[in-house]
Amino acid sequence: MEAALDKDQLVEMTSLSTSTIDRLEKLGEFPKRFYITDRRAVWNADEVKAWLDLRQMNSPDEFTGKKPPVEKRRYRRTATGIAA
């Protein structure tokens, strides 16, 4: 094992929120934490890097998620012009 990551380091490395990490971990789609003391959880940096590499390898070339309906956007006038 190269290093152990605490939650702050994990959030910085993955750019995911803590709630997303918790959700993915519960679903079994993220590396599991382990405890180095009674109350201190960490993640194996090698496993997290391997997970990120796999996500990058399987990433589509274009965004395939839900896009907001731009045509339903309402605009209102402001003192300096139009704001969304």
The count of structural domains within the chain is: 1
Q: Is the pLDDT of residue 52 over 60?
A: yes
Residue 49 lies in a domain: yes
In a domain, 64, yes or no: no
What pLDDT shows up at residue 63? 82
Task: Please state, as a whole number, how many other Cβ atoms lie within 10 Å of the Cβ of residue 5.
Answer: 21
Structural domain for 21, as ranges: 4-57
In a domain, 20, yes or no: yes
Residue 5 parent element (H or E): strand 4-5
pTM of the predicted structure, to 2 decimals: 0.74
Residue 46: its pLDDT value, please? 98
pLDDT at 83 over 70: no
Give the start-end residues of each E strand in the chain: 4-5, 34-35, 41-44, 76-78, 81-83
Identify the pLDDT of residue 84: 54
Cα 24 from Cα 41, distance rounded (Å): 16
